[in-house]
Chain A
Amino acid sequence: MSRIQVEGLTKRFGEVAAIDRVSLDISHGDFLVLLGPSGCGKSTLLRMIAGLIEPSGGRVLLDGRDVTFAPPRERDMAMVFQSYALYPHLTVERNIGFPLRSRRRPRAEIRQKVREVAELLDLAELLGRRPRELSGGQRQRVAVGRALVRDPGAFLMDEPLSNLDAKLRTATRGQLRALHRTLGSTIVYVTHDQVEAMTMATRVALLNAGRLEQVGTPTDVYDEPASVFVAGFLGSPAMNLIPARIESRAGRVQVLAPGVELPLWAAGDQPAREVTLGVRPEHLVLLPPASSSPASQPASQPASQPVPVPASPVFRGVVETVENLGGEEVAQCAVGGARLLARGPRPLGLRPGEPVAFDVPADRVHLFDRASGRRLVWQPASGGLPRERDHDHDSAAAAVAGAPGQVLDASTV
């Protein structure tokens, strides 16, 4: 078990920074998933931790020891590659035993360990075969076995499931999780698949264009995305992000956009501010057609706690299409110039071309600064306006008297 610290790690290829000042603290027994779109630098980061690529700046610490420029064999980390990278000329038995032979362990010990790992991974029957005679899932298990046999301080995995079919991937996800539980070892896992991240990670680190966007538990990053990027990356379909404006109107501070009218709190002066409004498709509450009465809410929305329904709906638009996902439906609606997706159990009772109105619980509303893309948080205690969480960015100017019961996101402060 190892603790891996990454401090201000940077990798430049020519002028382009593939990884830009990334800092991470991966503690003993963490299952950290590096998540991001392709080309965001997550594999580069993993390779720098492994020692396969030398960083252009910053440090990598392993249990407090600086290993930034140490060769891989001095790091005691095992790696599982996306292509599995099995040695084509060696049998399964010799593939798994390869790291031990590199360390000149006694032959009897190697044989014993290989047997143990093979039993654990259900490879005992295949020890005499060569990689090309194995199926994808078997190859993947051999690759994991080759990592396990060393009893390493940390496992590094580079999209190890991406070459498996969907069913096998689900099964293997469960096996990896179980493996992590039994071994209790540190795992750094690279993927672009948010399902893998959400289901396996103890912590998720989201990367975008070489920069760290957010680190937190899967619940954290899903419920309180730190930036527009994170909000738009997680979830299927992802969060609705609508350009809007915070304005004072009729004695209330409101989020306004064409077809959108979201009252925040009753207050006095509030300078206008450009924001991005975020609402997850599953948090939209469908309001009955041609009715503004709050009494007759449809029972179709699971996520809706009893919330005070405003006098008028938050979103008004027209249904464009309805997609059937089997258990659920996703309705795509035009709201002003923007597109709004709503997800709920089938049937939603919506038909293309019909007008539609949605409400949203106040604690499910996310606001992001338009320019920086960072999350805005309202601090009810000080009565402040939504302000950015990062203090290095400019914070909101004016203070507004907060009205109780209209807390946007009190828990995050």
Chain B
Amino acid sequence: MAVSTPDAPAAGDAGAPPPGQYSGGQHDGRNRDDGGNRGGGRHGGGDHGDGDHGGGRRWRRHGHRGHGGTGGPVGGRSPLSSFAGHAVLAVLSVACVFPICWMYATSLRRPGDIYDTSLLPWPLSIGSYRHAADVIPIGQMLVNTFVVASLTALGQLLTGLLAAYAFTAWRFRGQRLLYLLFVGTWLVPFQVTMVSNYTLLFRLGLLNTLAGVVIPTLCTALGVLLLRQHMESFPKEVLEAARIDGRSSWSTLWTVVVPNLRPALAALGIVLFINAWNEYFWPSMVLQQANSMIQLGLRGFLGGTEGNDWGGIMAASGLACLPIFGLYLVLQRHIVNAFVHSGLK
């Protein structure tokens, strides 16, 4: 460790548990940059205990970091950059959260107070929700959207699972090319395939049906890609053991691969479900009548002779967001993992 003050190591030793590998390395680099006298500060847990070892300067720094209360890697930054980082994060989170708060606030105002700008609506009213429910069949729409999103996610999971398994478990001629083509579909913009898909649905008589929304989206390169990565990291010898133990390929998939990929499948399923839930463009093409999915229902409140119906929009949007929020509350950890692993959004 690059420590330049003689008392710093002692201070460091006085600190409670040693820092992890990751933070330790980071601190070392930081120490060299600062020219030292910061050795004691690296142990978040030891800040208060080693106060009598150090001079005033070090103590001040400790105090500062103590208030920060962040610990871990952040504790190693200089207070200034730490503060700046937090400020940026705070601004960003307000920017993200404020519209959602405003949406719920507006939806809960009395219809007469819609243009009120107070942060908290008072008195509360569910008038906008009643109004929205009068204008569109909101319950039916939520159910439809849920069905479509679930079927899409399940279908994409299934096709992704089968394709990824084929790519992993077997070696066949043209495998690389086929895989490239699969991945390549990701690069083709939706707008390119949209018209041909639409024509096909028209010929099949599936326009204006939920099936028409689901079927063309049943296979996604994202699912194949991610599941293949997970399967590649699954030990080959276990698959071979299953073959030796008398399982067919099909049976190996369901009794060995799927049970072990459950976390990955769950994470991917969530991402696919959220994607499908948020999809607007494709359903709006396939479904001509407005009262089929919640995304399209929102459209009805926009424009019109009296301008935008803000109360209705906010109420319906608030309801449309609820299932995703609920999902997030229950599966928070999985969702974060899923996004981190998929490298999306």
**A residues within 8 Å of B by Cβ?**
47, 50-52, 71-73, 77-79, 81-83, 85-89, 98-99, 102-103, 146, 150
Contact = CB atoms under 8 A, between A and B. Distances in A.
B116 interface: no
A81 B247 CA distance: 17
A87 B244 contact: no
Interface stretch (B98-106, B156-164, B235-243, B316-324): B235-243
A98 B251 CA distance: 12
8 contacts: A51-B243, A71-B243, A78-B244, A79-B240, A83-B237, A86-B238, A89-B256, A99-B245
Given A88-B260, A89-B259, A89-B260, A77 B245 contact: no
Contacts of A87: 238, 241-242, 256, 260
A52 B245 contact: no
Nearest to B240: A52
Contacts of A88: 238, 260
Nearest to A77: B244
Contacts of B260: 87-89
Contacts of B248: 73
A88 B247 CA distance: 16
Main secondary structure of the interface of A (DSSP, over half): loop
B246 interface: yes
Given A87-B256, A88-B260, A89-B260, A102 B247 contact: yes
Contacts of A78: 244
Interface of B: 235, 237-238, 240-248, 251, 256, 259-260
B244 to A, nearest CB: 5
A146 B242 CA distance: 11
B237 A81 contact: yes
Contacts of A103: 246
A73 B243 contact: yes
Nearest to B247: A102
A52 B170 CA distance: 12
A73 B256 CA distance: 16
Given A73-B246, A77-B244, A87-B238, 20 more contacts: A47-B240, A51-B243, A52-B240, A52-B244, A72-B243, A73-B243, A73-B244, A73-B245, A79-B244, A83-B237, A85-B235, A87-B241, A89-B256, A89-B259, A89-B260, A98-B242, A99-B246, A103-B246, A146-B245, A150-B245
A82 B244 contact: no
A98 B248 CA distance: 13
Nearest to A52: B240
A73 B248 CA distance: 9
B241 A102 contact: no
Contacts of B237: 81-83, 85
Nearest to A47: B240
Contacts of B242: 87, 98
A156 B202 CA distance: 59
Contact of A52 (B243, B247, B256): B243
B240 A102 contact: no
A89 B246 CA distance: 18
B246 A79 contact: no
Contact of B235 (A47, A72, A73, A83): A83
Contacts of A86: 238, 241
